[in-house]
Amino acid sequence: MDRTERFYRIRRLLQSRRLVPIDVFLGDLEVSRATFKRDMAYLRDRLNVPVVWDRESGGYRLETTHSGDELPGLWFSASEAHALLTMHHLLASIDPGVLDPHLGPIGERLEKLLASHGHAAAEVRHRVRLLHSIRRPVESGHFAVLAQALLDRRRVHVAHFNRATGESASRDLSPQRLVYYRDNWYLDAWCHLRNGLRSFAVDAITAARMLEAPAVDVTDEAMDRELASGYGIFSGAEVAWARLRFTPARARWVAREQWHPQQASRFEADGSYHLSVPYSDPRELVMDILKHGGEVEVLGPPDLRRVVREELHRAARRYEGGSSLEPGPS
């Protein structure tokens, strides 16, 4: 049993009893009296654990003035501390700089805890990698304002760049939740300009200021009905169902993927794979369909089939005739 594991067991004993005799510790930890006393001294002097020796009762206890708060990492076994450090590393990798002011101190304390007991915290960073694809950087100052307003339930005034129109607009928002989707951050919010729920790419927010006005609260049911019923990040209350058929060769890959929590699928006798997914706005769905090229066919609805066919024809013309770039449907 290593030192971190002993600390974990000491915690369990102190929390399970009002008073713990030294013989109980020695029997549970299976260490000498000298080793146990060194552990207790380390807990008191280095980690500031409010444990005291009650001479009259003949045992150790936590001070009654102790608030019950526990130092991050202190009461974790070595395996639990490694798991926490791994999660910390993954969170820090989501978007370096955005969460660093908050995650940095936690990571440092975990690393010190593990290092003091002979565990290589750096091994986690060396062995665990998170690779990103097409990530758009976020202004950390704007993110901090949005996150604070979200937790404080306050409105924010933002300037937002609309990529579809190429125009910027200012508006007041009531933040509802931050969403990390496909390596990018989005803010789901009640838009007071449009008087409805909207999802905003955080990287497209060019200014953010927290207001004194309280945020309007929207129920989770209403949020999911408006923003989560369709496909991907694009919202809409009206839902249609896309019916796709993948070739047997591509089916071996796609059958393991979840395109939507409510999707339906089946295999045909020839090995082809049928997938049905709900969508409100087809833009993101069309992009996902097109990346499979000739390995997928849109069976319906007719409007979706037409959009994908036109996109494929437009792409083919570009390669066949060397035509200049022409804008696609917005």
Q: Per-residue pLDDT tens for 126-175?
A: 777 777 777 788 887 899 899 889 989 999 999 999 888 888 999 999 99
Distance between CA 144 and CA 99 in Å, rounded?
Answer: 8
Structure confidence by residue, pLDDT tens digits, 29-86: 889 999 989 888 888 887 778 888 888 888 998 876 544 444 444 555 566 666 777 7
> Do residues 77 and 13 lie in contact, with contact meaning Cβ atoms separated by under 8 Å?
no
Q: What number is the average pLDDT over the span 192-212?
A: 94
Cα angle: 143, vertex 149, 151; to 5 degrees: 105
> Could you tell me which of 231, 242, 234 has the C-alpha nearest to residue 296?
242
Q: What is the average pLDDT value for the chain, to the nearest integer?
A: 83
Percent of the chain with pLDDT over 90: 42
pLDDT reading at 253 higher than 50: yes
**Mean pLDDT value across residues 83-112:** 67
Looking at residue 38, its amino acid is R
Is pTM beyond 0.75 here?
Answer: no
In this prediction, residue 98 carries a pLDDT of 57
> What is the rounded distance in angstroms from the CA atom of residue 79 to the CA atom of residue 85?
10
Closest CA relative to residue 38, chosen from 7, 70, 77 = 7
Confidence at 104, pLDDT banded by 50, 70, 90: low
User: How far, CA to CA in Å, does 8 sit from each of 11, 13, 81?
Assistant: 5, 9, 11
Cα separation, 156 vs 174, in Å, equals 7
Would you say residue 273 has pLDDT above 50?
yes
pLDDT at position 330:
52
Position 292 confidence tier, pLDDT thresholds 50, 70, 90? very high
pLDDT of residue 69: 41
pLDDT at residue 66, rounded to an integer: 45
Contacts of 171 (CB under 8 A, 6+ apart): 157, 158, 160, 191, 192, 193, 194
Residue 278: the pLDDT is 93
Q: What per-residue confidence (pLDDT) applies to 165?
A: 86
